[in-house]
Amino acid sequence: MKKITIILFIIFMGSQCTFAQFKISGQVQSFKGVDSLTLNIPFVYGYYSENDLKIPIDGTGKFNFTVPVRLQKFVTLRYKNKTSTLLLSKGKSLSLLMDSTGTITNFGGNAAEENKMLYHADLNGIPFFLQGDYKNNPYAKLSLSELQEKLVKPWFTMRDESIARVHKSALNQNYKQLIESEIYYQAYNQINYFARGVMPADKNLVSEFIIRNFDGLQPEPKIFPAGPWYYQFVETYISYLDSKIFIQYAPTDVRSKEAFRKVYHLELDSAFALVKRNGKSYIHWYLMKQYFSKSVAERYLAQTIWKECGEKDISHVTPLMNDFKSNFPKSSYMAVLQRKVNTLELFGKQNEQLKNIDVFAGYDKIKSIYEVVNAFKGKVIYLDVWGTWCGPCKRELSYNPRLKQRFKDKDVVFVYLDMDPDEKDADWKKFIHLNGITGTHLRKSNVEIQQFWEELLPGKKERLYPSYFIFDKTGKLVQADTKQPSDGEELYTEIEKYL
């Protein structure tokens, strides 16, 4: 994984070698020891750790770095748990003076004024309604009318005051509009985050709150090229459109079909088929391209492909990439994306040769999990019940290498029971090879897997993905719904009890 990340970074930086430069330098006061700053340069937008660059700090606390910049670029600077957004413009320079906590105390260089204004806008700060423990958030207990009065109204007042400060500044018009728009869209994104991440799990209440505050908003950016908060707003706006469809009826309710058709210009059944075949990202792309300009759509789709490549599911990447080629054949993002996809495909082909990725012989005929378990008597079995469509399942897979290293050369077998439809069989096999998921694999459809669930959790109706189970060396199920790979030592202790 480390090698492929380096390759992709070289591809990304190499594609920008003809760009103009932005110079960033500065000093950390009262600095001691060895350390570095982290500069995250997104492909288009969003924060992904693979885009992190380390800027070394020398023994005197000074740092100096040159960044290739084609157009204006928002980047993220991190030091000592402090995060700042910087605006890089080609041919400019920025000098920063930082204290030992990571707080920027002075800005210099010809990019100082716009970055100082951006810094004081505090776009990375935590809003008053998102502070503290989410479970005991006082704003989550308010009625809709109270939310408007006690949360939305003061929050938008703060937004408008921040925009007014930028407007009164001596910045040129372009920088003013760009920073003002970022403040504007950040305010709506934080409202959305509160609604979907903090408010009670009452879908109608959440939808009503979202619709009340998003109705009438224009999807197109106030300035173009736009900043990262705008592109997050694009995703937020797509969620808003979905809320308008399903506020009255669930997706499975036939009465929702007409509302869906009006928004998506597509039959609901056809949309379900698209998601099943191409993934959720594709249906979001299908919707957004109808409501946003081609220029916005190009950047959105480029970033979506970049992100899906990181998920390493080629069945989701391929249809998106085909659409990108069809819609934006001359895009400046094309070469980088194609190299990234090619690298992903090459990685998958290389992993097809791995002998320790084992698809259980005759898996399609198996009727009981014990047909697999009994093949490994004398070993402890850790069973992962998952699906290629399941985001949390795939996130847990990233903890597998550490888990397997811990039990290397010990009597532990890793078995993966995937739930995907029969028509996704080839995609499932590509996914496990592309991701190098060593162990024993079998797949069942949603209907077929139900009898496996009855063996694993008899009588229990709630069946969550992912779920994990431990079988001892005799083949007995000894831990139902046990710890997951990200639990680390807690899981390791559970497995070690049966060795």
Give the model confidence (pLDDT) of 362-377 as tens digits: 999 999 999 999 999 9
Average pLDDT over residues 313-341: 95
User: Which residue's structure tokens are 């070394």?
Assistant: 56
Q: Give the number of other CB atoms < 10 A from CB of residue 346.
A: 12
Mean pLDDT of the chain: 91
Average pLDDT over residues 340-350: 88
Query: What is the three-class DSSP state of 33?
Result: coil
Q: Give the number of other CB atoms < 10 A from CB of residue 289.
A: 17
Supply the pLDDT for residue 391.
86
Neighbouring-strand partners of residue 322: none
Residue of 29, 23, 22 lying closest to 103 (CA atoms): 29
Whether the pLDDT of residue 250 is over 80: the answer is no
Tokens of 45: 């937008």
Whether the pLDDT of residue 2 is over 50: the answer is no
At residue 455's C-alpha, the angle toward residues 454 and 456, to 5°, is 95
Average pLDDT over residues 206-228: 94
Supply the pLDDT for residue 17.
44
Give the model confidence (pLDDT) of 8-38 as tens digits: 444 444 444 445 899 999 999 999 888 999 9
Average pLDDT over residues 455-476: 93
Which amino acid is located at 350 in the chain? Answer: Q
Lowest-pLDDT choice from 156-160, 317-321, 393-397: 393-397
Burial class of 34 by CB neighbour count within 10 A (0 to 12, 13 to 18, 19+): exposed
Instruction: Judge if pTM exceeds 0.95.
Output: no
Cβ atoms 76, 55 nearer than 8 A? no
Cβ atoms 154, 187 nearer than 8 A? no
- Ordered domains of the chain (ranges, CATH): 2-121 (2.60.40), 143-349 (no CATH), 357-496 (3.40.30.10)
Supply the pLDDT for residue 19.
57
Tokens of 264: 């998506």
Residue of 415, 429, 426 lying closest to 382 (CA atoms): 415
Q: 400: pLDDT confidence band, cut at 50, 70 and 90?
A: very high
44 Cβ contact list (under 8 Å, min separation 6): 231, 299, 300, 302, 303, 306, 333
Whether the pLDDT of residue 489 is over 80: the answer is yes
Residue of 264, 295, 296, 294 lying closest to 282 (CA atoms): 264
Which amino acid is located at 32 in the chain? Answer: K
What is the C-alpha radius of gyration for the chain, rounded to an integer number of angstroms?
25
- What percent of the chain stands above pLDDT 90? 76
Query: What is the three-class DSSP state of 356?
Result: coil
Whether the pLDDT of residue 4 is over 70: the answer is no
Which amino acid is located at 342 in the chain? Answer: N
Supply the pLDDT for residue 134.
84
Whether the pLDDT of residue 249 is over 80: the answer is no
Cβ atoms 268, 260 nearer than 8 A? yes
Query: What is the three-class DSSP state of 448?
Result: helix
Residue of 75, 78, 107 lying closest to 93 (CA atoms): 107
Residue of 253, 334, 328, 323 lying closest to 284 (CA atoms): 323
Average pLDDT over residues 143-153: 96
Q: How far is CA 37 from the centre of its chain?
A: 23
